[in-house]
Amino acid sequence: MIYFILYVAAGYVYFWINIIGARKYWVNALLITLLFVFISCLVQNVWFNISESKITVIHSLINLAVSEGLATAGFFAAYLVLTIRCRIEKSYDGYYIIGRSTKVRVTKITTIIFWLMLPVFIFFAVFSCARPNDRYIPGTVLFSMFALMCILMLITQAIPNAKVKNSKIWLRKGFAFYEHDLSEYKSSYCSTSGYYILTFSDKEYKIPSECVNLGFLLKLLEQVHNPYNNEVNVEKLISYIKKETKKPAVNLIPDTESVLDIFISKIGGLPYWDFKKEYPVDEDGVKMQLLCQLNFSECKVKNTVLPKSGILQFFISEKDSLYGVNFEDQTVQKNWRVVYHARIDKKLTADKIKKLNINEYVDENKTPILKHCALKFVQAESYLPSNILKFEELLTKGVEKVSKTYFKGSVFDLLGPTNLNPYAEKFYRTFSCNENSMLSYPEFCQDDPRENLTAKEAKYFDTVLLQLVSSCGDRNIMSWGDGGIANFFINSKALKEKDFSKILYNWDCF
């Protein structure tokens, strides 16, 4: 039992050395630990056999396998348990500047436990020395030497483990803890002899260069005096861009509670169909599947160019892995189709539609639809997305107006990542697309497909007829590739005239 406790302690010491930052010594620490285990086993059993001479070699080996095996298991169990605990407690509310794969919370708990372990080591050493005939003397002495060597390595290395949360930074140097506000950062970092020196409130912290995530550290320091790392300026900038780019739109909110009949606005399912028309088929003659159906009589949003009545339908081929789009000519309705029914026959039934033998079932490998659901028209406002090139020009004007400074670059260059700037998340969320919509600003994961058209053609497709996003609702409604977005563009004049013959269809993903 004594050996089991000692080896558990040894496991804790080794773990402590590894996480504190002595990365270039971890191999040496492991080898020394294994050497200690081997020498301890050997010396203890030889000492015992010499003093007792009654034990046979076989019994000695059994004793070695049982006692030292159990002790060694304790060592690795301690290391494993601490590692798992560390992963579970890995901080998601703070961010580390130390470039290590193993990260732990900056807390005094580990230091307290470590100091509590030291008296245990000393107790066994003194207890064994007080009993000269005790068989545990050699192992305890070697273990004590090992523990002292570990402490020496910790003190000489003195590598800080640092965590940043909001505007605070916590630094652990050796066994001492320091807390600073990022605004106390006094000088730029400097590198000398493989170390980076950081200064907070005239106190220097020397960090080995191999243990620093320099890219992250520099981004962190950039945020120290960033005028947009505060709520007031970010709110002012949001208000300015909203005012400059606001346009009325209609959001299509998923409704998973409503019953899906053939007339309702919806994603997927059994479509309404006028039997006077030929049902759309793809280039192989296979009937297409309903992607989206919009019944404009359900739309109560006023003052839009959308039709006041009728049903607009979007179909795609389920045989095409690209969901019907032709990137060579995105206006050709070969494996996709848009159909408008101006007049609706209310007497039509689902049973009659089913006689068309239309596939209404979801196959995630053949369609972006994951689940059928109804759609509700909701009045909304749309703002210019932050990933559009024009946004940078607007950002320059906004920064000049809000903070009277000149800035040229992307919004990410201005605000930085959300883990360093807690006010950036609201900005990114405000100017990003997360709802199905009509008449809104378009958003893309890649490039605007209209850039590949002539100036005259690009100008023609000036209105978003329909935008479908992967992130809508509970994120289990649609999936356009890897978090993609689909757009159907139309000319505003053609929309007013209810002419849906010329449409540009595009979808892309990350």
DSSP helix/strand/coil, 419: coil
Residue 273 has pLDDT above 90, yes or no: yes
Long-range contacts of 69-73 (CB under 8 A, 24+ apart): 70/3, 70/4, 71/3, 71/4, 71/6, 71/7, 71/37, 72/7, 72/37
Please classify residue 31 by burial: count the beta carbons closer than 10 Å to its beta carbon, then call 0-12 exposed, 13-18 middle and 19+ buried. Answer: exposed
Q: What pLDDT is recorded for position 218?
A: 64
For residue 502, give Cα distances in angstroms to 217, 239, 437, 493. 52, 36, 19, 12
pLDDT value of residue 95: 42
Q: Left, alpha or beta for 404 (phi > 0: left; psi -120 to 50: alpha)?
A: left
Taking CB atoms within 8 Å and a gap of at least 24, the contacts of 81-85 are 82/11, 82/12, 82/15, 83/15
pLDDT, tens only, 126-163: 555 555 455 544 555 555 555 555 555 444 444 455 66
What letters, b where the CB count within 10 A reaches 16 and e where it falls short, cover 253-266? bbbeeeebebbbbb
Q: How many beta carbons lie within 10 A of that of residue 20, not counting itself?
A: 25
Query: What pLDDT does residue 181 have?
Result: 79
The pLDDT of residue 127: 54
| Residue from 405, 294, 287 nearest 344 by CA | 294
Model pLDDT for residues 334-366, shown as the tens digit of each residue: 999 999 999 999 999 999 999 999 988 877 778
Cα atoms in the 13 Å half-sphere on the side-chain side of 268: 21
Question: Model confidence at 97, in pLDDT bands (50, 70, 90)?
Answer: very low
Q: Where are the alpha helices (DSSP H) in 379-423?
A: 389-403, 411-415
Tokens of 419: 């883990």
Condensed to tens digits (0 to 9), the pLDDT of residues 439-456 reads: 999 999 888 999 999 999
How many angstroms separate the CA atoms of 37 and 33, rounded? 6
- What is the average pLDDT across 277-301? 95
**DSSP one-letter code for 451:** G
User: What is the per-residue pLDDT for 73?
Assistant: 54
The string of DSSP letters for 287-335 reads BPEEEEEEEGGG----S-SS-SSSEEEEEE-TT-TTTT--TT-TT--SS
203 pLDDT higher than 70: yes
Indicate the average pLDDT of the chain. Answer: 75
Give the chain's domains with CATH numbers: 2-90+107-154 (no CATH), 161-222 (no CATH), 236-508 (2.30.320.10)
Highest mean pLDDT among 20-29, 107-116, 214-223, 267-276: 267-276
Question: What is the rounded CA–CA span in Å between residue 53 and residue 34?
Answer: 28
pLDDT tier at 229, thresholds 50, 70, 90: confident
Choice between 59 and 417, residue whose per-residue pLDDT is larger: 417
Would you say the pTM of this structure is higher than 0.85? no
Judged against a pLDDT cut of 80, whether residue 164 lies above it is answered with: no
Least confident stretch, 177-181, 237-241, 387-391: 177-181
Per residue in 23-75, pLDDT (tens digit) is 444 444 554 555 555 555 555 555 555 555 544 545 554 554 555 555 555 55
Amino acid identity, position 400:
E
Other C-beta atoms lying within 10 Å of the C-beta of residue 501: 10
Q: To which residue do tokens 């059928």 refer?
A: 372
Query: Is residue 260 scored above 80 in pLDDT?
Result: yes
- pLDDT of 21: 40
pLDDT of residue 496: 96
In single-letter form, the type of residue at position 142 comes to L
Q: What is the mean pLDDT of residues 305-333?
A: 93
Tell which residue, 292, 381, 333, has the closest CA to residue 501.
333
Confidence class for position 94, pLDDT limits 50, 70, 90: very low
* Radius of gyration, alpha carbons of the chain: 34
Top-ranked range on mean pLDDT: pick from 139-148, 168-177, 305-314: 305-314
Among the ranges given (44-53, 229-238, 279-288), the one the predictor scored with the smallest mean pLDDT: 44-53
3-state secondary structure of 448: coil
Cα 379 to Cα 176, 299, 303, 432, 434, distances in angstroms: 57, 9, 10, 17, 15
Average pLDDT for 6-27: 49
pLDDT given at position 417:
80
* Alpha-carbon span 123 to 177, nearest angstrom: 28
* Residue 115 predicted with pLDDT over 90: no
Q: Which residues contact 398 (CB under 8 A, 6 or more apart)?
A: 237, 240, 241, 244
CA angle 42, 44, 45 (to 5 degrees): 70
Whether 174 has a pLDDT exceeding 70, the answer reads no
* Burial class, 505, CB count within 10 angstroms (exposed 0-12 / middle 13-18 / buried 19+): buried
**pLDDT tops 80 at residue 404:** yes
